[in-house]
Amino acid sequence: MTDSGSLPSRLTAGLSGQDLAKASAGIRAATDLCQNGMKLGLGSGSTAHAFVRALAERVRDGLDIVGVPTSTQTYDLAGELGVPLADLNDLVELDLTIDGTDQMAPDGSMIKGGGACLLWEKVVAKASRRVMIVADDTKLADHLGTFPLPIEVLPFGWRSSRKQIVELLADHGYENPDPVLRNRSDDLVITDSGNYILDVTLGTVTNQAELTVLLNQIPGVVENGFFVGIADGVVVGRPDGSSEIIQDLAGRDADRW
């Protein structure tokens, strides 16, 4: 389902290239996927935030939804824009989550966590009956792994957790894995749950389903950025402002987009 209909200029003014692609995916998701009465998971990152801005316009026009943010940044943005918010503990189950991705393979598996929000993002996605991803077309890859995998670890004993991560990855075919503690502008990145992020570049990944289980068995690993069997579909935005909705990704048997 491709759409290159006109985009509201107040949401796209001055944007070009990848930013326009992100905005077009976000606007399409808010326009075509959100309906009255829905309990929505609100993703994190610039593409999900383009969605939140477009959703806020629909709320101002009368759309009746409630949102659960997947990060403090999304909580702040959605709150400022007047999107009604709720605590996941008060809703327990959601109708639909719209979130971004760092990389998506043709079977719908993803690497997420470039914005350090993977833990809340996975909790919210797994609480949702349906998960749709918003992405510019650079995020679609024939396989995962060129984007470094984020792994959220407890600060307590993180060096021991890191050592076990290295051993696990080496045992599963990855040469000299080197998880790096994430810093931004020389400051250690601390997640919304008070944890650290280790980023590890893996190259070509084909065993993401197995790794996602094994990584989470290491004491101190809180969550990893593989999202396998979670996305139902993707809204792909392109630099010309067009967008396409691809449904039924989970379990899709394809090795190329």
Ligand X SMILES: O=C(CO)[C@H](O)[C@H](O)COP(=O)(O)O
**Residue number, 11 or 62, with CB nearest to ligand X:** 11
Nearest-Å Rg of the Cα atoms of the chain is: 18
9-10-14-17 Cα dihedral, nearest 10 degrees = -60
CB of 148 closer than 8 Å to CB of 181: no
Alpha carbon distances (Å) from 185 to 59, 118, 188, 208:
36, 21, 8, 30
Q: How far is the CB of 50 from ligand X (least distance, A)?
A: 8
Has 225 been labeled as part of a binding site?
A: no
Q: How far is the CB of 110 from ligand X (least distance, A)?
A: 8
Has 16 been labeled as part of a binding site?
A: no
**Residue number, 147 or 158, with CB nearest to ligand X:** 147
Q: How far is the CB of 147 from ligand X (least distance, A)?
A: 9
Annotated active-site residue in 80, 93, 121, 223: 121
* Binding residues for ligand X (CB under 6 A): 22, 43-48, 99-102, 112-118, 121
- Helix 46-60 to helix 72-80 angle (10° resolution) is 30
Has 113 been labeled as part of a binding site?
A: yes
Judge whether 121 counts as a catalytic residue. Answer: yes
Q: What angle do CA 95, 96, 99 make, to 5 degrees?
A: 155
Has 17 been labeled as part of a binding site?
A: no
**Residue number, 62 or 221, with CB nearest to ligand X:** 221
Q: Which amino acid is at 54?
A: A
What residue numbers does the annotated binding site for substrate cover? 44-47, 99-102, 112-115, 139
Which residues are known to be catalytic? Answer: 121
